[in-house]
Amino acid sequence: MKVISQRELAARSKAVLDDVEAGETYHVTRNGTEIAEVRPLGSRRRFVPVEELQRKWRNAPRVDYTAMRAEADEFYGDEDRIGDDANPWERK
């Protein structure tokens, strides 16, 4: 992945698009902030392999459902809540 400024993209658009067509990805910046990504259309995956999802889920942080419920109740109130399970996602 390459980083390129908006001005440089405008000045070198043909060369940049040739690189993109060859498989390169560019991040475009404006005033030093990344605002866009220019990448080949064919590089987007249509699915994520199961093994990759499992690896990511294994490394994901644990969710404290009690704290999440308390935070939601504090923000939304609890008068319209359906059910009173501490962990509504727990399999029974």
The single-letter DSSP state of residue 6 is H
CA distances, 3 to each of 11, 29, 35, 38, 74 (Å): 14, 7, 11, 10, 43
The answer to whether the pTM exceeds 0.75 is: no
User: E strands along the chain, which residues?
Assistant: 2-5, 26-30, 33-38
Over residues 24-82, the pLDDT tens digits come to 999 999 999 999 999 988 756 678 889 989 998 898 888 888 898 889 889 988 777 76
